[in-house]
Amino acid sequence: MAKKLKFIFCLIFFMVAMLAHNQASSNLLPASQLKPMGNNQMYGATQGSLQPQECAPRCTSRCSKTSFKKPCMFYCQKCCAKCLCVPPGTYGNKQVCPCYNNWKTKRGGPKCP
């Protein structure tokens, strides 16, 4: 009986993990939906492609679905000021902006939302 319970628990855990992974993956934009610039870069999504005054609207869009808007906006604008890029979408897609993706906290977690 204990083996059956252990098996069922593992199966449920696996299904929940897969569901969470699929949910996170669905928020990522495919490369085909990114808008290329004339010089083959992604405008606003590659390092140095934004002007400082463009950070606020990009961060507003990036933080639009979070329930923690104030800290999201604070860190997004801080990251945008340093990197001059904000990844597209509301979650993920950080691979298109390496500076935004690689800036870490003291504990090693991501600094940029």
User: pTM of the full predicted structure?
Assistant: 0.59
Q: Report, as an integer, the average pLDDT of 26-47.
A: 49
Q: Quickly state the pLDDT bin for 50 (edges 50, 70, 90).
A: confident
Higher pLDDT pick, 60 / 2: 60
Compute the CA torsion angle 37, 101, 87, 50 (nearest 10 deg).
-50
| Residue 27 host element (H or E) | none
In DSSP terms, 42 is beta-bridged to 36
Per-residue pLDDT at 44 exceeds 80: no
- What is the C-alpha radius of gyration for the chain, rounded to an integer number of angstroms? 18
